[in-house]
């Protein structure tokens, strides 16, 4: 094998071995559908409990490949501009062979809130430990910034928002996933809110990046 070809071969193998997030070999620019249900229960003026379930369909929204359940508690008593929460998430996700793998994912969340020029802003930092069945365990940091516009359109109070979230593994110390959200929330009743969003998801696939176009819907119940 020539030295030049050997170098290309080594580079290719290295890229494959470094791949950490790709689960199922979906095409670039794949269309996906995500559905999320969330419930929030006020325990008292300082504490609330949350529960969330999410399903994700890929391969032109024709194949279920991901599901998680998440239970957490949020403390609101520090100040009006900060929330602190602790959660446990159980994830089931298809691997490269199409087999379902389990991941246990406890995570700590610190959310800062404020207003700027009538815009509602939030900045959530998430620290999560990924106990994975078929890969090594890793710590990961996620930062999500959300901007909500000061508009409430129509009788159901459509409110536009934008958000961006970046993902970084502690051992790699580089960004391996980026999500950009554009959506609207709406008030269905006093205790139920909904939402529809478009998500542009970019994930690192070996040495390259793959993009997905996601249509998402959300339902939030307040008790």
Spell out the residues 6+ positions from residue 19 whose beta carbon is closer than 8 angstroms to its own: 204, 205, 206
Q: In the structure encoding, which two tokens stand for residue 15, read together? A: 């890229």
Q: What is the per-residue pLDDT for 25?
A: 62
Q: What is the per-residue pLDDT for 16?
A: 36
Closest CA to 31 of 6, 50, 56, 7: 56
Q: What's the whole-model pTM score?
A: 0.86
Answer whether 200's CB lies under 8 Å from 216's CB: no
CATH class of 3-222: mainly beta
**Domain-by-domain residue ranges, the chain?**
3-222
Beta bridge partners of residue 212, listed in sequence order: 30, 201
pLDDT digits (tens, 9 = 90+) for 135-192: 899 999 999 999 999 988 888 889 999 999 999 999 887 899 999 999 999 999 999 9
pLDDT average per 10 residues of sequence, the chain (223 residues): 45 39 68 98 97 97 97 97 98 93 98 95 98 93 97 87 96 90 95 97 88 98 96
Backbone CA torsion sign across 169, 91, 180, 28: positive
Q: What is the per-residue pLDDT for 134?
A: 84
Spell out the residues 6+ positions from residue 196 whose beta carbon is closer than 8 angstroms to its own: 183, 184, 186, 215, 216, 217, 218
Q: In the structure encoding, which two tokens stand for residue 113, read together? A: 């809130």
Answer whether 177's CB lies under 8 Å from 23's CB: no
Answer whether 16's CB lies under 8 Å from 196's CB: no
Closest CA to 152 of 127, 178, 120: 120
Cβ count near 4 (within 10 Å): 8
Whole-Å CA distances, 207 to 19, 48, 73, 77: 8, 42, 38, 44
**Residues listed for the chain:** 223
Q: What is the per-residue pLDDT for 152?
A: 85
Whole-Å CA distances, 68 to 3, 38, 89, 104, 202: 47, 12, 7, 10, 20
């Amino acid at each position: 094998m020539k030295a030049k070809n050997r170098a290309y071969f080594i580079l290719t193998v290295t890229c494959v071995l470094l791949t950490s997030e790709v689960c199922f070999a979906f095409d670039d620019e794949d269309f996906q559908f995500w559905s999320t249900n969330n419930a929030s229960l006020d325990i008292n003026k300082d504490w609330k409990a949350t529960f969330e379930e999410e399903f994700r369909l890929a391969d032109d929204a024709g194949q279920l490949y991901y599901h998680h359940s998440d239970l957490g508690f949020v403390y609101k008593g520090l100040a009006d501009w900060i929330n602190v929460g602790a959660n446990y998430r159980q994830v089931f996700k298809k691997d490269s062979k199409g087999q379902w793998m389990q991941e246990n994912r406890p995570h700590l969340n610190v959310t800062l809130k404020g207003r700027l020029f009538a815009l509602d802003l939030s900045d959530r930092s998430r620290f999560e430990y990924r106990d994975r069945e078929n890969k090594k365990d890793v710590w990961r940091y996620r930062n999500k910034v959300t901007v909500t516009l000061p508009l409430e359109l129509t009788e159901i109070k459509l409110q536009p928002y934008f958000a961006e979230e970046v993902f970084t593994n502690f051992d790699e110390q580089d960004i391996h996933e980026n999500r950009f959200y554009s959506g609207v929330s709406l008030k269905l009743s006093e205790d139920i809110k909904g939402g529809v969003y478009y998500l542009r998801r970019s994930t690192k696939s070996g040495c390259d990046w793959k993009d997905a176009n996601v249509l998402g819907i959300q339902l939030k119940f307040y008790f």
